Amino acid sequence: MAHKSHWIAKTFFGLEDVVAEELEEFGATDIEPIKRAVAFSAEPKTLYKILMGIRSAHFVLKELYQFQASNPEELYQGIMSRNWDKHLDVDGTFKVESVCSGDLFTHSKFVALKTKDAIADYFRDRFDKRPSVDFDNPQLIVHVHINQDKVRVLLNTCNEPLFKRSYRQETGKAPINECLAAGILLKAGWKKYDTLWDPMCGAGTFGIEAAMIKRNIAPNLDRRFFGIEHWPDFVKDDFVAAKRELRNQIDGAVNFKINASDIDRRVLDAARRNAENAGVEHDIKYYRSDIRNPLITDDENGLVVVNPPYDHRLNPQNILDLYQAMGDSFKKNFTGKKVYVISSNREAMKNIALRPSKKHTVFNGGLECMLYKYEIFSGDLKSHKSKQNRDKS
């Protein structure tokens, strides 16, 4: 039986539960959600499937070891104590990334430099030569996370973040992150719906991720390179087998409809080209229309996702008017649908003038946002709940 190692899948705050469910589906064990991450165990083949197939995590890291350090010399010695030749060839390349919190270490660049020096000196002491630093395309990325005197050293399996799917060559003004878009779709239960609308689609990320979910296309199946491929314990046969299994699981027969629209013709053209890059151009219908008058059908089993401007692209009055128009459009055009809106502008969200049935805190980059769920129904709330109770009985 293959040996299981311990890993950490990094994600956005608010998507930890989604990542945990994905990991369970892939066969990971010892799954433990933590803040902005999920810890898990997996043998090599399962890990490779996770790297190519997980949708809502943007990095997978291996926790190498922990130690305590209260000053730069203790940090240096703690890094030097590791057998780095087990992880990196003397002729290889590497770089260090660091994150610090607390008052003992306050400059992440200094921590990264000190760690780099310790790794280089480890090799120089033993082999009279050292690996080179490469900031653009290193064979190994070492992460150092410090909280007060607790130092954690991790290795990056991906190198480039997993949200870089390669299909999005063109973007709108403020595109949503691919992992976040996929995570929202999974949290919203997209798998159980037949129809999706994105009436403010921009570069088309929601629609593309939705099509890939329905077709069971692993988002990084054809990624050019993973950092783990340079690791000494990389098992190429397992990696090839994992890729073959994922490719065989693609579903070309499933039926669904995705409708994406935007008022800007230029971003619609970009969305179409991005969909072509992802191989899902035939799964998405694009329309030029305003949120006030979207082109829709009467499908009852439908999901709506919206990533509107927050506040930095429009003046205050325009943003309030836009959100009011969104609420009016939801009530007029999307009866019977579940609507999910992500926004950091809580004041503007009040102008939608609908009561959300659920709210989740999520982060879009560095912005704290709320993901609002609205159930759009005709009539009053009391009648709607009465109908729901009858349907359940």
Q: Domain with 100 in it: what CATH number?
A: 3.30.2130.30
pLDDT score at 381: 46
Q: Which residue bears the tokens 């299994």? A: 245
Distance of CA 85 to the CA centre of its chain: 32
Let me know whether 284 and 197 are in one domain: yes
Strands 37-42 and 29-34: antiparallel
Question: How many other CB atoms sit within 10 Å of the CB of residue 225?
Answer: 12
Structural contact between residues 132 and 139, judged by C-beta atoms closer than 8 angstroms: no
Which residues touch 393 (CB under 8 Å, ≥6 apart)?
Answer: none
One DSSP character per residue, 10-75 reads E--TT-HHHHHHHHHHHT-EEEEEETTEEEEEE-HHHHHHHHHH-SS-SEEEEEEEEEE-SSHHHH
Q: Kind and range of the H or E element at 186?
A: helix 178-187
Into how many domains does the chain fold?
2
Give a yes or no: residue 144 inside a domain: yes
Let me know whether 101 and 67 are in one domain: yes
pLDDT score at 318: 87
Let me know whether 268 and 369 are in one domain: yes
**Cα–Cα dist 342/361, whole Å:** 9
Which residues touch 42 (CB under 8 Å, ≥6 apart)?
Answer: 4, 5, 7, 26, 27, 28, 29, 50
Burial (CB count within 10 angstroms: exposed 0-12, middle 13-18, buried 19+), residue 96: buried
Structural contact between residues 96 and 144, judged by C-beta atoms closer than 8 angstroms: yes
Give a yes or no: residue 164 inside a domain: no
pLDDT score at 3: 66
Let me know whether 92 and 129 are in one domain: yes
Angle at 362 between CA 358 and CA 363, to 5 degrees: 155
Chosen domain end from 125, 156, 187: 156
Let me know whether 10 and 122 are in one domain: yes
Let me know whether 185 and 135 are in one domain: no
Let me know whether 71 and 132 are in one domain: yes
Instruction: State the Rg of the chain over Cα.
Output: 24
**Cα–Cα dist 284/22, whole Å:** 24
Residues of the chain under the 70 pLDDT cut: 1-3, 172, 297-300, 312-314, 378-393
Residue 21 region by backbone torsions, left for phi larger than 0, else alpha for psi between -120 and 50, else beta: alpha
Question: Where in the sequence is the domain holding 240, given as residue range(s)?
Answer: 178-219+228-390
**Cα–Cα dist 41/31, whole Å:** 7
Let me know whether 246 and 298 are in one domain: yes
The model scores a pTM over 0.85: yes
| Number of continuous H segments (helices) and E segments (strands) in the chain | 11, 15
Structural contact between residues 363 and 14, judged by C-beta atoms closer than 8 angstroms: yes
Let me know whether 261 and 385 are in one domain: yes
Alpha helix segments (H runs only) across 221-298: 236-248, 265-278
Let me know whether 201 and 139 are in one domain: no
Which residues touch 390 (CB under 8 Å, ≥6 apart)?
Answer: none
Give a yes or no: residue 1 inside a domain: no
**Cα–Cα dist 28/22, whole Å:** 9
Structural contact between residues 375 and 357, judged by C-beta atoms closer than 8 angstroms: yes
Let me know whether 257 and 380 are in one domain: yes
pLDDT score at 384: 45
Q: Which residue bears the tokens 């703690």? A: 78
Which residues touch 299 (CB under 8 Å, ≥6 apart)?
Answer: 194, 195, 257
Let me know whether 148 and 193 are in one domain: no
Q: Which residue bears the tokens 């982060």? A: 363
Give a yes or no: residue 345 inside a domain: yes
